[in-house]
Amino acid sequence: MSPHKTKYRLGYLIIVCCILLVSGAIVFRFPNRGSDQNNPLASQRSVAKITLEKEHPNKSQLHSRHLELGIITGRTDKLDREESVIMNDPALKQAWGIEKANALKAWRITQGSEKLVVAVIDTGCDLKHEDLADNYWTNPGEIRDGKDNDGNGFVDDIHGWNFVSNNNDLTDNHGHGTHVAGIIGAIANNGKGLAGVSPKVRLMCLKYYDPKNPSDHLKNTIKAIQYAIKMKAHIINYSGGGIEPSAEEQSIIEAAQNQGILFVAAAGNERSNSDIHKYYPADYGLENIISVTAIDPSNSILPSSNYGTQTVDLAAPGHNILSTLPGSTYGFMTGTSQATAFVSGAAVLVWSRHPHFAYHEVKRYILQTGTMDENLLKKTRTARVLNLLKALTMMDNTLTLTGLSGPSTQPISSDNPFSVDSQNPFKPFIELNIFSKKLQEKSIQSREASQPTNQ
């Protein structure tokens, strides 16, 4: 080997090593340096960067929207029968959230409506589940023939669409989606399982997340919302999220709002104050979004759940919730996903009772009628826990619709009068809720708010 060739090879090796080192630095440490056009290695860097991205596909995107894939406990296909007052579903009494939300009494007024469609954007659904099958939405313009009969761009989208695999296979290979679907709309009084919050409903199944098939969850989410809009869902249930906002996602939820669609979103299981650490899509601040956090039977927000007096609207049951699982089984799951499904079911009940309502009226009826709890004053915007009976009756019994305001714990005296400015479109009505030390709630409602004074 000639000295010339050895030198050449050594030089070549050094250059290759430099390229690898620098390209590694570009990707992992100095992402902005890739645009340095004076650097003779710039073109080499871009090649190396593409290679690395192929090796780690969509690394950041994978985490941009996620589900808290909670642990399933107590999974079974056999449920002990316990007598229930008005329904024969054997496990209804094990579903503590149903009782907590006052569903049994609410169902005497309405159990929902088959005309109302909830798009469940999740991990898929067990379409054959014994306690769900009849409650799935069916695309009226589609038959199973390998063709796109209704021309919506999706072939044989009978009950929804799989945006991970881009086909109509809605198989739930985790369980989360089927669990959420059952909380919203498991069939009541069929002698099987339990009952959803709104036993009469149509569930549109949109799969955006597959734990065994990594994909861009954010893009899938946006496409699923687009589908829900196009196919005229009334409510979108979204139990996922992430800490990064997306202009495209916000825009499509705004488009849903323009079509009158309510968007019920999980506050998230990040153990954090969402006022400081935002969680999306729950925290976009759009009028059609309800952000829901989770409580246990004692009305305590779960340690894992997000909270925030500016960002989280309402609390609902989310601890050890019994619901449906794939294979016609049942089991318990915990998290804001479960609480979110309770509120979607509540929206169905309110909307079925008031079919002429716009989305913001449904939202107002749900938020303003929850049961107040002092423990929630510094945790949510309303300090309330979902109460289905009150959502269906309370507003009808009052002369006015009341506005929303943030809770205040400031002492009130003649030197320090309490005033409130209702920063919402429902002015001029204001509701004040006053707690005594014994936690007895009193509610004062005014037909008209007083004009602001400059004292």
Q: Which is nearer to Ca ion, 153 or 285 (CB)?
A: 153
Q: Cα(257)–Cα(260) distance, rounded to whole angstroms? A: 5
Q: Cα(392)–Cα(365) distance, rounded to whole angstroms? A: 8
Token pair for 267: 């506050």
Question: By CB under 5 A, is residue 150 in contact with Ca ion?
Answer: yes
Catalytic residue check, 176:
yes
- Helix ranges (H only) for 154-297 are 176-185, 217-230, 247-258
Mark the segment that binds Ca ion (CB under 5 A) among 58-66, 95-103, 124-132, 168-176.
124-132
Which residue lies nearest Ca ion, judged by its C-beta?
A: 89
Catalytic residue check, 337:
yes
Token pair for 109: 């007024």
Q: Residue 25, CB half-sphere, CA atoms under 13 Å: how many?
A: 12
Token pair for 183: 């909380």
Q: Which of 7, 9, 59, 147 binds Ca ion (CB under 5 A)?
A: 147
Q: Which is nearer to Ca ion, 9 or 147 (CB)?
A: 147
Q: Which of 22, 48, 121, 187 binds Ca ion (CB under 5 A)?
A: 187
Minimum CB–partner distance for residue 79 and Ca ion (Å): 10
Of 131, 125, 120, the residue nearest 190 (C-alpha): 131
Q: Which is nearer to Ca ion, 187 or 197 (CB)?
A: 187
Q: Which is nearer to Ca ion, 57 or 141 (CB)?
A: 141
Mark the segment that binds Ca ion (CB under 5 A) among 25-33, 140-148, 384-392, 407-415.
140-148
Mark the segment that binds Ca ion (CB under 5 A) among 86-94, 160-168, 176-184, 254-262.
86-94
Q: Which of 193, 196, 281, 403 binds Ca ion (CB under 5 A)?
A: 193
Q: Which is nearer to Ca ion, 112 or 281 (CB)?
A: 112
Token pair for 323: 């619901």
Paired residues of 119 in beta bridges: 204, 236
Q: Cα(9)–Cα(411) distance, rounded to whole angstroms? A: 81
Q: Is residue 446 exposed (0-12), middle (13-18) or buried (19+ Cβ within 10 Å)?
A: middle
The answer for residues whose C-beta is within 8 angstroms of residue 298's C-beta and 6 or more apart is: none
Vertex 264 angle, CA 199 and 403, to 5° = 105
Q: Are residues 205 and 177 in contact, defined by beta-carbon separation less than 8 angstroms?
A: yes
Mark the segment that binds Ca ion (CB under 5 A) among 34-42, 47-55, 157-165, 214-222.
157-165
Question: By CB under 5 A, is residue 190 in contact with Ca ion?
Answer: yes
Total interface residues for Ca ion by CB under 5 A: 16
Q: Which of 99, 156, 254, 361 binds Ca ion (CB under 5 A)?
A: 156
Minimum CB–partner distance for residue 140 and Ca ion (Å): 11
Minimum CB–partner distance for residue 151 and Ca ion (Å): 7
Minimum CB–partner distance for residue 349 and Ca ion (Å): 17
Continuous segment of H or E residues that includes residue 206? strand 200-207
Which of 159, 174, 176, 319 is flagged as catalytic? Answer: 176
Mark the segment that binds Ca ion (CB under 5 A) among 23-31, 49-57, 136-144, 169-177.
136-144
Q: Which is nearer to Ca ion, 144 or 447 (CB)?
A: 144
| Alpha-carbon distance values, 185 to 120, 133, 181, 391, 418 (Å) | 11, 10, 6, 18, 43
Q: Which of 107, 136, 137, 154 binds Ca ion (CB under 5 A)?
A: 154
| Alpha-carbon distance values, 245 to 72, 347, 391 (Å) | 29, 26, 31
Question: By CB under 5 A, is residue 131 in contact with Ca ion?
Answer: yes
Q: Which is nearer to Ca ion, 187 or 386 (CB)?
A: 187
Which of 215, 337, 344, 352 is flagged as catalytic? Answer: 337
Mark the segment that binds Ca ion (CB under 5 A) among 189-197, 356-364, 370-378, 412-420.
189-197
Q: Which is nearer to Ca ion, 230 or 427 (CB)?
A: 230
Q: Cα(410)–Cα(335) distance, rounded to whole angstroms? A: 32
Which of 122, 157, 216, 283 is flagged as catalytic? Answer: 122
Of 5, 199, 218, the residue nearest 113 (C-alpha): 199
Question: By CB under 5 A, is residue 244 in contact with Ca ion?
Answer: no
Q: Which of 46, 88, 94, 152 binds Ca ion (CB under 5 A)?
A: 152
Minimum CB–partner distance for residue 161 and Ca ion (Å): 9
Q: Cα(222)–Cα(237) distance, rounded to whole angstroms? A: 13
Q: What DSSP string runs through 351-362?
A: HHH-TT--HHHH
Catalytic residue check, 122:
yes
Of 402, 404, 407, the residue nearest 447 (C-alpha): 402
Question: By CB under 5 A, is residue 149 in contact with Ca ion?
Answer: yes
Token pair for 404: 């929303």
Q: Cα(37)–Cα(20) distance, rounded to whole angstroms? A: 18
**Stretch 416-455: interaction string toward Ca ion, x if CB under 5 A:** ----------------------------------------
Question: By CB under 5 A, is residue 89 in contact with Ca ion?
Answer: yes
Of 75, 184, 96, 73, the residue nearest 132 (C-alpha): 184
Applying CB under 5 A, the residues found at the interface with Ca ion are 89, 131, 142, 145, 147-150, 152, 154, 156-157, 187, 190, 192-193
Which positions are annotated as active-site residues? 122, 176, 337
